[in-house]
Amino acid sequence: MLIVMKPSAAASEVDAVVSVVEAVGFRAHPMPGATRTAIGITGNEGPIDGRRFENLPGVAEVIRVTKPYKLITLDLRPDKTVVRVGDATIGGGELAIIAGPCAIESREQAFAIAKTVQQSGARFFRGCVWKPRTSPYTFQGLGNKGWEIMAALREEFGLKVVTEATQESHVDIIEKRGDVIQIGARNMQNFSLLKRAGRSRLPVLLKRGMAATLEEWLLAAEYIMAEGNYNVILCERGVRTFAQHTRNTLDLASVPAIRRISHLPVIVDPSHGTGTAYMVTPLARAGVAAGADGLMIEVHNQPELSLSDSAQALTPPQYLQLVAEIRAIHELTSSAT
């Protein structure tokens, strides 16, 4: 259920409605907008009698939500969410670029790539210190040593750190040392991890599962938001299909589909979405043209020596050329809307 407040509703009236919602055993999710506040209600196992809220001071209308998701929809928040990470943003008018290696391998490697990322004007550095891998015999990340490198890199270059949590305890560490919690495709339906991320103060970047429908992906975001964390970024990274010419099939149609349904920012990962470096730039261009709020790009100073996902990593010159191209496309599409 959705309670829409009047544009003239005072903060005290919003608080009073929240108190009534909580008093009857439900959870209230107030979402301030540009012109009015809407309050989503969760925690009900059956229909809610909306009449108890209709006559409360400041209430404009009560809407029954028939969709399986309640908090991610434009019905609740018609204004697009802008996720703020310090002085950087994801969503809104600026194109967010999250770039870096698949994994932190050494200080020399990480610093060389971070220098390139900073040079490009990107604000976010991606790099995993824990790596969930298909094979138990492949590189699993540096762990604590990787965090020492990330902390130094963050201080040196002023970049916002995005790294993946593969279990609940990792969230505790990222909260102390990182800026954005990434939940990867393999963990999109790890519900205990989603709930833990939902209790965090940090933004969460949620990747689409390898075989997830749009509804399943959005409901995973609901798990995070239902715990009180509304700073969620959706990341399209491709789905598994019968195609053999790419590692995954990048579903760029999900971008306009999500923008029509949800207020959450959505970005595209053409590196994992294709698995092949020569495809990354064309699909990155297409992602921006489709309306993505940003891109996640893998960059490596020596891709041939990378310990993971070497085939999809761009070299620094390739990455810098890509950034110039996508910024031009973003400027063009922004002026056309």
| pLDDT tens-digit series, residues 86-108 | 999 999 889 999 999 999 999 99
Q: Report the mean per-residue pLDDT for the chain.
A: 93
The whole-number pLDDT of residue 44 equals: 80
In degrees and rounded to multiples of 5, residue 98 shows phi and psi of -115, 115
**Host H or E run for residue 207:** strand 204-207
Whole-number Å distance between alpha carbons of 214 and 301: 35
Q: Do 141 and 131 meet the contact criterion of CB atoms below 8 Å apart?
A: yes
The whole-number pLDDT of residue 290 equals: 97
Whole-number Å distance between alpha carbons of 208 and 222: 13
Q: Do 163 and 184 meet the contact criterion of CB atoms below 8 Å apart?
A: no
Q: Is the pTM of this model over 0.85?
A: yes
Residue 196: pLDDT band by 50, 70, 90 thresholds? very high
Helix (H, G, I), strand (E, B) or coil at 159: coil
- Using one digit for the tens of pLDDT, what is the confidence trace for 162-171? 999 999 999 9
Tell me, what DSSP letter sits at residue 265? -
The residue whose two tokens read 């996902």 is: 309
Residue 243: pLDDT band by 50, 70, 90 thresholds? confident
Whole-number Å distance between alpha carbons of 119 and 114: 8
For residues 90, 91, 93, 95, the Cα torsion angle rounded to the nearest 10 degrees is 50
Instruction: Tell me the CATH number for domain 2-63.
Output: 3.30.70.1140
Q: Do 101 and 117 meet the contact criterion of CB atoms below 8 Å apart?
A: no
| Reduced DSSP (H G I as helix, E B as strand, rest coil) percent helix, strand, coil of the chain, to 5 | 40, 20, 40
The single-letter code of the amino acid at 291 is G
Angle (CA) 153-154-158 rounded to 5° is 115
Where in the chain are the domains? 2-63, 83-336
The whole-number pLDDT of residue 337 equals: 61
Q: How far is CA 113 from the centre of its chain?
A: 22
- Using one digit for the tens of pLDDT, what is the confidence trace for 280-332? 999 999 999 999 999 999 999 998 888 777 788 999 999 999 999 999 999 99
Which residues are CB-contacts of 324 (< 8 A; sequence separation ≥ 6)? none
**Which CATH number does the domain 83-336 belong to among 3.30.420.40, 3.40.640.10, 3.20.20.70, 3.30.450.20?**
3.20.20.70
Angle (CA) 131-137-141 rounded to 5° is 25
Same fold, 2-63 and 83-336: no
Q: Is the pLDDT of residue 131 over 80?
A: no
| Closest to 299 (Cα-Cα) out of 115, 160, 88, 94 | 115
For residues 120, 125, 128, 133, the Cα torsion angle rounded to the nearest 10 degrees is -50
Whole-number Å distance between alpha carbons of 222 and 229: 10
